[in-house]
């Protein structure tokens, strides 16, 4: 085996950010969780399937995170492929060789669906395959044969090789992140897939799925806890940005923090109504059929959407001011 023993993910509901955070800490690229969530734009994302599929938090075109991440002091190389592609086996080999080289060079790697459909840090390899850690296997697991990467029902290879880079001025990082936040709400199809939508439209779809009795219970619980986590970090990112930018647009930042506090509170309420922790799948399905829970959730989602709409207008003003 060849391993990077200190490389571990940082447990988050948003496993993409949890893995990226673990990789950055391994490289000594220090930043708060809020700065990473916000600076990559993930804090402002919401992606909802028409039936609240639990894939919502991960089934979107997330390459933009790494484009924005260059502002924060890291770069990443990527290997992508779907098993329907003619050269899929070749890409599996490419991913394997790239991972071995990265680990030999002391660079961290993370990838999609090494176990369940979430993101995992790859901390080592042997002649058979990958050793990894992440959701449901904090202590580590492996080897996963390298020929099995991406050979799943979902069928995606998504591998990220993370390297330190040169960070840009904080004002630039904030401006770019806020511009993305506004744009993904205005143009939800740019980063979403068929049957999903993003931004303010995502709230409408979430509300409609509950009203039409089409929302999946498991998916509702999972989406709620992930997007609540994101908005909590959005609030904290905006507060940190105000400090970092030495009072520039201070009043607007204060307003944006208040707005995103309201968004986070609304989504936390939905998460409390449809709890993910310590509940069975059967209970989650019971919860989504409970009319009282659904009525309360619809009220909270409406309040969260209104607060986000106000917040996005403020983000646009800040970005213009920067």
pTM: 0.96
State the chain's mean pLDDT as an integer. Answer: 96
pLDDT for 26 equals 98
- Closest among 206, 157, 242, 192 to 50, alpha carbons compared: 206
Q: With contact defined as beta carbons under 8 Å apart, do 88 and 82 qualify?
A: yes
**Over residues 183-191, mean pLDDT:** 88
Structure tokens, 20: 């990226």
Q: With contact defined as beta carbons under 8 Å apart, do 7 and 27 qualify?
A: no
170-321 CATH fold? 1.20.120
Q: What single-letter DSSP state applies at residue 74?
A: E
pLDDT band at 303 (very low <50, low <70, confident <90, very high): very high
pLDDT band at 312 (very low <50, low <70, confident <90, very high): very high
**Over residues 241-252, mean pLDDT:** 96
In a 10 Å sphere around its CB, with 0-12 CB exposed, 13-18 middle and 19+ buried, how is residue 99 labelled?
Answer: buried
pLDDT for 277 equals 74
pLDDT band at 83 (very low <50, low <70, confident <90, very high): very high
- Closest among 119, 145, 112, 118 to 131, alpha carbons compared: 145
How do 47-49 and 129-134 pair as beta strands?
Answer: unpaired
The SS3 assignment for 149 reads coil
The label of the residue with tokens 């979902």 reads 154
pLDDT for 170 equals 98
pLDDT for 189 equals 85
Helix/strand/coil percentages in the chain, nearest 5: 55, 15, 30
**Over residues 45-50, mean pLDDT:** 97
How far apart, in whole angstroms, are the C-alpha atoms of residue 226 and residue 216?
A: 15
How far apart, in whole angstroms, are the C-alpha atoms of residue 51 and residue 195?
A: 9
Residue 110 has pLDDT above 80, yes or no: yes
In a 10 Å sphere around its CB, with 0-12 CB exposed, 13-18 middle and 19+ buried, how is residue 285 labelled?
Answer: middle
pLDDT for 279 equals 66
The SS3 assignment for 3 reads strand
Structure tokens, 216: 């999946």
Q: What is the pLDDT of residues 149-173, one digit of tens each?
A: 999 999 999 999 999 999 999 999 9
First to last CA, the chain: 49
Q: What is the pLDDT of residues 195-240, one digit of tens each?
A: 999 999 999 999 999 999 999 999 999 999 999 999 999 999 999 9
Q: What is the chain's Cα-based Rg?
A: 20
pLDDT for 78 equals 97
**Over residues 311-321, mean pLDDT:** 98
- Closest among 17, 36, 33, 41 to 315, alpha carbons compared: 41
Question: Per DSSP, which regions of the chain are E strands?
Answer: 2-3, 47-49, 74-82, 109-112, 119-125, 129-134, 137-145, 156-164, 196-198
The per-residue DSSP string of 19-51 comes to HHHHHHHHHT----HHHHHHHTSGGG--EEETT
Residues 6+ apart with CB under 8 A from 79: 91, 94, 95, 98, 157, 158, 159, 161
pLDDT band at 278 (very low <50, low <70, confident <90, very high): low
**Over residues 60-88, mean pLDDT:** 96
pLDDT for 311 equals 98
Measure Cα distances from 182 to 43, 73, 178, 187, 265 in Å: 12, 23, 6, 9, 21
């Amino acid at each position: 085996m060849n391993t990077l023993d200190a490389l571990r993910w940082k447990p988050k509901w948003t496993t993409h950010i949890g893995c990226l955070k673990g990789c950055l800490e391994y490289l000594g690229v220090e930043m708060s969780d809020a700065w990473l969530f916000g600076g990559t734009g993930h804090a402002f994302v919401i992606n909802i399937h028409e039936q609240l599929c639990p894939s919502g938090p991960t089934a979107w075109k997330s390459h933009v995170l790494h484009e924005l991440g260059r502002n924060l002091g890291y770069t990443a190389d990527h290997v992508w492929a779907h098993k329907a592609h003619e050269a899929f086996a070749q890409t599996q080999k490419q991913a394997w060789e790239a991972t071995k080289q990265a680990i030999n060079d002391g660079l961290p790697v993370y990838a999609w669906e090494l176990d369940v459909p979430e993101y995992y840090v790859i901390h080592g390899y042997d002649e058979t395959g990958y050793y990894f850690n992440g959701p449901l296997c904090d202590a580590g697991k492996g080897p996963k044969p390298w020929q099995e990467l991406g050979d799943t029902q979902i069928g995606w290879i998504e591998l990220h090789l993370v390297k330190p880079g040169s960070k840009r001025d904080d004002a630039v990082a904030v401006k770019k992140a806020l511009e993305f936040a506004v744009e993904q709400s205005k143009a939800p199809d740019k980063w979403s897939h068929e049957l999903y939508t993003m931004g303010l439209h995502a709230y409408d779809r979430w509300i409609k799925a509950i009203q039409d009795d089409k929302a999946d219970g498991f998916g509702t619980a999972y989406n709620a806890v992930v997007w609540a986590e994101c908005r909590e970090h959005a609030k904290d990112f905006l507060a940190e940005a105000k400090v970092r930018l030495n009072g520039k647009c201070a009043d607007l930042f204060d307003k944006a923090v208040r707005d995103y506090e309201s968004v986070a509170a609304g989504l936390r309420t939905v998460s409390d109504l449809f709890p993910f922790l310590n509940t069975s799948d059967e209970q989650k399905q019971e919860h989504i059929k409970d009319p009282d829970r659904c009525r309360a959730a619809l009220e909270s989602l409406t309040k969260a959407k209104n607060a986000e709409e106000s917040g996005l207008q403020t983000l646009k003003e800040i970005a213009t001011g920067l």
